[in-house]
Amino acid sequence: MLSIEFLYKNFIYSVYQYKFGYLSMKYFNFLRKSERFKREEILSCQLSKLKRLMEYVYINIPFYRESMKRNKVYPENINSLDDIRRLPIITKDEIRKNYSKIINKKISRFKIRKGHTGGSTGIPLQYVRDIYTLAMADAIILRGRYWAGYRLGMPSAFLKTVGRPTFKGKIRERLINFHSFPAFSSEKELLKILDHLLKIKPFFLESYATNLFRVASLCYKNKIKLSIPVVFSTGEKLLPHQRELIEFQFNAEVFDYYGCNETGVIAFECKEHHTMHVADEHILLEVVDEYNQPVINQPGNIILTDLDNYAMPFIRYQVGDTGILSDRICECGRELTVLDSVEGRTGDMLITSDGNILPPIIINTTFRNLRGIERYQVIQKKVGYIILRIQKNELFDPSELKQMLFKLKNLLGYDTEIYVKEEQYIEPTRRGKFRTVISEIKSH
C-alpha cells in the first residue's frame, strides 16, 4: 500500500512547490545520503561545486570576472577550498552598487525569483535566486525538519506571516497541511490563535525566537499548556531562558535554525541540540576575524558563498552576522560543519500603544523592500512616541515615507506620534553593527 509520505514526496510536493518541487525532492533524497558522508567526501563535493561556479562567473558575471583578474585568481587556480580566500570579501553595500554587474542576464525569467531583504542591518537589498538554489534551500529546510522527526503530511503551524496571505498561497498551504498565522498579533488575537492550535494539533510550530517567547509567556500568564512535539525557532538569536520557557510551556523539543533571505537556510540544529550543522552541500561558510583571517572556536564575521545560485552569485558575502565555527564532530555522527553559535541577530523590543511587545524582526520584515530609503532606524523614546531616522538615496519618493509611517502606526498604534529625522548618514554602533530598532524605555 502506498504510504501518505510516499504520496507527498512523489506527487503532492510537486504541486505545492510547483516551480521546483520535483527538484526539491531530488535534492532532498541526495541530502539524506550526503548528511552521512565522511568529512573528505563533503569537502570534495564542495570543491567540485565551487570550481564549477568560479568557471561560470569568470565567463558570465562581469563583477566577479573583474575581481578575479584584479586579484590574479583564475578558474584553473581553484584547487582547494582555501583558494577562495584570495578573492575579496564583499558587503551588502558593494552588491547594491554593482547590482547590474552581478545579475546574470542569461537565465530565463521563468527560472528565477526576485526577493528583498533588510535583515538586522536595515539596509535593503534586492536579490535574485534561480530555481536550483531555491530547490536546494527548500530541500535543506525539509531535511532539518526530518532531523527533528517531522514527516511530510504532518500538520504544522507557522507564526510568520507579514501582510495578507493570497488565496493561492492559502490553497497551497492546505495541500501540505501547513497553517499560517500572523507573525505579530495582539494578546487577544493570540489567544484565538492558541485555540486554533489546540484544534490543529500541529507536529511543529515555527516562529521567530522573540515571538515564540512572547507566546510562551502569554501561555504561562493564562495557565495554557500546549503539547506541541517540536518548535522551530529562527530569524533571531534564541536565548537560553527563552528556550527553557518555550520547552516547558509547549512541552516541546526546541530546534533553532539559521538562515538569511539571500541564500536560504544555512544551518540547522540536530537532536544533540545547542549546536547547528552547516548545510555544506549548499553553502561554503567561513568565519573571519577583523583582519579577515579565518578563526575557529572564537567569534568572527560570517562569510557565505552560495554554491548553487547562478542567477546572482554570492561569493564571499559578508552577511552581517557573527558566529563561532567549531572543529568538533557532533555526537550525532554527522560530519557536516558545526556552527556553535550565531550572534548579532538581536535587537530591542518595542511596546505598542495597547501594551503589546513588538519583536524587532517584525519591523525588519515589514521594511525589507524599501527603495529610496537607504537605511533607517526606529527609536522608541516612550510608549506612543517614536523617532524615525532615515537616510535617503536618489530614488527617494515622499510616498514611500508616507507608506512607512502608515505601516509603523499600523503596528504600534494609530495614536503613535512619529517624528521623522532625515540624516546624511546613520552611523553603526561601536561594534560596527547597524541597529534598526532601539528602545530607550528603561525596563527593556
**Binding region for Zn ion (CB under 5 A):** 270, 272, 330, 332, 334
Secondary structure class of 159 (helix, strand, coil): strand
- 372 vs 213: CA distance, rounded Å: 34
The nearer residue to Zn ion, 143 or 334, going by C-beta atoms, is 334
The nearer residue to Zn ion, 16 or 255, going by C-beta atoms, is 255
Provide the minimum distance between the beta carbon of 31 and Zn ion in the complex, in angstroms, as a whole number.
Answer: 14
Q: What is the CA radius of gyration of the chain?
A: 22
Provide the minimum distance between the beta carbon of 219 and Zn ion in the complex, in angstroms, as a whole number.
Answer: 29
Among candidates 256, 257, 262, 234, which has minimal Cα distance to 319? 262
Residues 6+ apart with CB under 8 A from 201: 155
Residue spans of beta strands (DSSP E) within 111-154? 112-117, 125-130
Provide the minimum distance between the beta carbon of 237 and Zn ion in the complex, in angstroms, as a whole number.
Answer: 20
Residues 6+ apart with CB under 8 A from 190: 215, 218
Among candidates 350, 410, 343, 336, which has minimal Cα distance to 385? 350
Provide the minimum distance between the beta carbon of 15 and Zn ion in the complex, in angstroms, as a whole number.
Answer: 33
Q: In angstroms, how far is the first alpha carbon of the chain from the final one?
A: 56
**CA 33, chain centre distance (Å):** 25
The nearer residue to Zn ion, 259 or 360, going by C-beta atoms, is 259
Q: What is the DSSP letter of 116?
A: E
Provide the minimum distance between the beta carbon of 138 and Zn ion in the complex, in angstroms, as a whole number.
Answer: 21
Provide the minimum distance between the beta carbon of 274 and Zn ion in the complex, in angstroms, as a whole number.
Answer: 10
Provide the minimum distance between the beta carbon of 209 and Zn ion in the complex, in angstroms, as a whole number.
Answer: 20
Cβ atoms within 10 Å, residue 79: 9
The nearer residue to Zn ion, 90 or 270, going by C-beta atoms, is 270
Cell 512523489 maps to which residue?
A: 10
Among candidates 112, 43, 44, which has minimal Cα distance to 313? 112
The nearer residue to Zn ion, 127 or 258, going by C-beta atoms, is 258
Longest dimension (CA), the chain: 67
Alpha-carbon distance values, 317 to 168, 285, 362, 418 (Å): 34, 10, 24, 35
The nearer residue to Zn ion, 334 or 368, going by C-beta atoms, is 334
Provide the minimum distance between the beta carbon of 319 and Zn ion in the complex, in angstroms, as a whole number.
Answer: 23
Residue spans of beta strands (DSSP E) within 264-331? 264-269, 276-278, 283-288, 300-306, 317-326
Provide the minimum distance between the beta carbon of 267 and Zn ion in the complex, in angstroms, as a whole number.
Answer: 11
Among candidates 395, 394, 393, 380, which has minimal Cα distance to 426? 393
The nearer residue to Zn ion, 142 or 350, going by C-beta atoms, is 142
Among candidates 151, 199, 150, which has minimal Cα distance to 179? 199
The nearer residue to Zn ion, 217 or 326, going by C-beta atoms, is 326
The nearer residue to Zn ion, 333 or 355, going by C-beta atoms, is 333
The nearer residue to Zn ion, 256 or 262, going by C-beta atoms, is 256
Provide the minimum distance between the beta carbon of 247 and Zn ion in the complex, in angstroms, as a whole number.
Answer: 19
Among candidates 248, 262, 238, which has minimal Cα distance to 216? 248
Q: Cell triple for residue 283?
A: 553553502
Is residue 431 within 8 Å of 119, Cβ to Cβ? Answer: no
The nearer residue to Zn ion, 130 or 335, going by C-beta atoms, is 335
Provide the minimum distance between the beta carbon of 246 and Zn ion in the complex, in angstroms, as a whole number.
Answer: 20
